[in-house]
Structure 1
Amino acid sequence: MEGLTYREIEEIQPKAGEVRIRLKTAGLNHRDLFVLTRHKPTDPPLIVGSDGAGVVEAIGEGVEGIQAGEEVIINPGLGWQKNSEAPPVGFEIVGLPDHGTFAEKIVLPAENAVRKPAHLTWEEAGVLSLAALTAYRALFTRGKIQKGMKVLIPGIGGGVATFLLQFAKAAGAVVYVTSRSEEKAKKALELGADKAIDSNEDWHKALDGEKMDLVIECVGAATFNKSLEQLRPGGTIVTFGASTGDEVTINLRTFFYGQFNLLGSTMGSAEEYEEMLKFVEMHELKPIIDTVYPLSEFEQAFKRLEEAEQLGKICFSIPE
């Protein structure tokens, strides 16, 4: 990966309201690929990575309710406390513009260090947050999922999509997925999908003409119109990703006659993060781990993600 290096960097001390966490694991996300293009060679050096889990090592002045030695998981959203229609001005994500989690230690606001769910291993905790929070807001806050709803998730395989499947099934929905990979489609069925179809085939025919109450779109231009065609009249499509292109042309007449709802979503608030963790604990849900790499083998990990070979999450183990 051009521009990425593995080296020593000066340790940072926590300021007032901050904690320093000794990281045990970290999770790789598509966002980390985007950061590589957004962060310019002329910018100061940056540690990338948004997801991680570890042990609180040092506490800054004025921090209450958290002790050194506590096992924590990182909420990567900075400056978005209460659930709202959109993120507030100034909302940022760990890993850009400030240092991220692909390191032995990280300093961040104490409110972003949250008690680690006891049923998760360090690997599972380290990959959970960004993808699970994104899936939770898209499904529950924006999509208003209800028991018995028919939900379509195109492009099963990535971290968010696998959480969407797990969350939707736990909420009592009927879930359909698409994938170009026979192996990923098979795995989705094992995870509880009610039907998995080939992304390249005629979706209408493959789904026997069944229409969906809710479609969660994270693929982009390659699937958006096919997703729209699968909505029932009055149905909702929630979009939060555009890995195959961010511009689409839709037929407005078909859209308004269909009474469709189109909603955007991204990440989520600290309030939703707490709700998501409670949901995960209540249903004892665990992230699907694709591969665990030592942090020093970052190039193989980034390559696997870039080539979309993974099913679930890619994890980094961080040496003591």
Structure 2
Amino acid sequence: MKAVQFVEHGGPAVIEYADAPAPTVGRDEVRVDVKAAALNHLDVWTRRGLPGIDLDLPHTPGSDAAGVVREVGADVTRFEPGDHVAVTAGVSCGDCEFCRHGEPSMCVSYHILGEHVPGVHAEEVAVPEANLVPVPDDVDWTVAGSASLVFGTAWRMLVDRADLGPEESVLVLGASGGVGHAAVQIADHLGAAVFATASTDAKLDHAVDCGADHAIDYTAVDFAGEVRDLTDGRGVDVVVDHVGAETWGDSLKSLAKGGRLVTCGATTGPNPETDVNRIFWNQLEVIGSTMATPGQFDDVLDLVWDGTFEPRIRETLPMSETARAHELLENREGFGKVVVVPDSER
């Protein structure tokens, strides 16, 4: 079979679509013929070489995929050959205090398919039964293969961690990206007033189409000042910031007194300057969030499968062109998700 791989860290040119050993199925694993798989910025960071993560090379990236079950291990009970499934990427130990209390994404040994261990951008993959969710047969493969990581992450951030209410307001940074465009849709679904930032008129139009009430071009105006102007000086109740160092100070400035900043990542760097005085004086909360619990994945993916939420697809490419897919993400070209499909499926 063939798989996306890199044998060294570097730019998109290190990506290959090469022969790889067919996966073997463990007792609690399921072999899936992949029909579609989406990229996330995590794939870019992994390819470049994340500090502190020592990968076995060659490495297959990828945290999102969907396909058809072809084989199940002896202990698998939830799936059988022919089932349509999607991958959820978080792997936990199942036994630590956090796992026992229903918070596997806080597991002491939590890791992510495609980041710490081989991923799912391949023709065939073998993954633990616990990392699969059923997909209705009528759901398009590009939708099934691009929803779980970003919608699960955004759902946990807004519904569980930030506890966003229907009478509140939220600012979503980077609304053209995967987590961003999912967060806009979820916040709108919750009944909140949604402010969104993006860098071009086309991306702003897409954000409005996803449910944003106010779209702000952060390249043309100071977004914190614009938020203050649009809210008569009050600010918003919640900020979704996965950008990090570049936006951190303005994210804090955008919050109303008692507001919450929730973050799941740091695209522009993990060590921002922060205004501690603003945090304590305005009684702000800074909330971290990672991935989602199995129940949260089920809740949000049911709303994807029924069409309430829609992963927007900026481009679908053959897996042999995954290097180009990485360039689309790195260069911030377009709105929404980039999907790759095994060449054998095209």
Q: TM-score range by the shorter chain?
A: over 0.9
TM-score (normalizing by structure 1): 0.94
Aligned to 2:106, the other structure's residue is in SS state coil
In 2: Cα distance, 1:71 partner to 1:233 partner: 46
Post-superposition shift, 1:85?
8.7
Is 1:206 aligned with 2:226? yes
Aligned to 1:145, the other structure's residue is in SS state coil
**Which amino acid in the other structure matches residue 18 of structure 2?**
R
Post-superposition shift, 1:205?
4.4
Is 1:304 aligned with 2:328? yes
In 2: Cα distance, 1:243 partner to 1:44 partner: 24
Residues 21 and 105 in structure 1, CA contact (< 8 A), matched pair in contact too? yes
Post-superposition shift, 1:76?
1.0
Is 1:31 aligned with 2:42? yes
Residue matched to 2:4:
none
Alignment of 1:111-150 (within 5 A): 111-117=130-136, 120-150=139-169
In 2: Cα distance, 1:64 partner to 1:86 partner: 23
Post-superposition shift, 1:180?
2.1
Post-superposition shift, 1:271?
2.5
Residues 77-127 of structure 1, C-alpha deviation per residue, up to 9 Å, x if partnerless?
112666429511221111133321111000011121211145631001111
Residue matched to 1:62:
75
Aligned to 1:51, the other structure's residue is in SS state coil
Alignment of 1:21-170 (within 5 A): 21-38=32-49, 43-79=56-92, 83-84=102-103, 87-117=106-136, 120-170=139-189
Post-superposition shift, 1:29?
0.6
Residue matched to 1:171:
190
Residues 49 and 95 in structure 1, CA contact (< 8 A), matched pair in contact too? yes
Match of 1:4 among 7, 15, 31: 15
- With 230-239 and 191-200 compared, the bigger mean Cα shift is at 191-200
Residues 33 and 70 in structure 2, CA contact (< 8 A), matched pair in contact too? yes
Post-superposition shift, 1:43?
3.1
Alignment of 1:10-25 (within 5 A): 10-25=21-36
Pair 276,190 (structure 1): closer, same or farther in 2 beyond 3 Å: closer
Residue matched to 2:246:
222
TM-score (normalizing by structure 2): 0.87
Pair 22,137 (structure 1): closer, same or farther in 2 beyond 3 Å: same
Residue matched to 2:283:
259
Post-superposition shift, 1:280?
3.1
Aligned to 1:48, the other structure's residue is in SS state coil
Aligned to 1:130, the other structure's residue is in SS state helix
Residues 55 and 117 in structure 2, CA contact (< 8 A), matched pair in contact too? no
Aligned to 2:31, the other structure's residue is in SS state strand
- With 174-183 and 100-109 compared, the bigger mean Cα shift is at 174-183
**Which amino acid in the other structure matches residue 248 of structure 1?**
P
- With 197-206 and 139-148 compared, the bigger mean Cα shift is at 197-206
In 2: Cα distance, 1:191 partner to 1:12 partner: 38
Greater RCO (Cα-Cα under 8 Å, separation 6 or more): 1
In 1: Cα distance, 2:128 partner to 2:67 partner: 15
Pair 209,172 (structure 1): closer, same or farther in 2 beyond 3 Å: closer
Residues 120 and 286 in structure 1, CA contact (< 8 A), matched pair in contact too? no
Post-superposition shift, 1:230?
1.3
- With 108-117 and 67-76 compared, the bigger mean Cα shift is at 108-117
Give 5+ residue unaligned stretches, structure 2: 1-11
Pair 129,59 (structure 1): closer, same or farther in 2 beyond 3 Å: same
Residues 3 and 41 in structure 1, CA contact (< 8 A), matched pair in contact too? no
- With 304-313 and 196-205 compared, the bigger mean Cα shift is at 196-205
How much is the aligned-residue C-alpha RMSD, in angstroms? 2.0
**Which amino acid in the other structure matches residue 284 of structure 1?**
T
In 2: Cα distance, 1:4 partner to 1:276 partner: 32
Residues 40-71 of structure 1, C-alpha deviation per residue, up to 9 Å, x if partnerless?
99833221111000000011112112110001
Is 1:187 aligned with 2:222? no
Between the two proteins, the alignment pairs up a number of residues equal to 320
Give 5+ residue unaligned stretches, structure 1: none
Post-superposition shift, 1:263?
0.6
Post-superposition shift, 1:283?
5.9
Aligned to 1:24, the other structure's residue is in SS state strand
In 1: Cα distance, 2:181 partner to 2:329 partner: 15
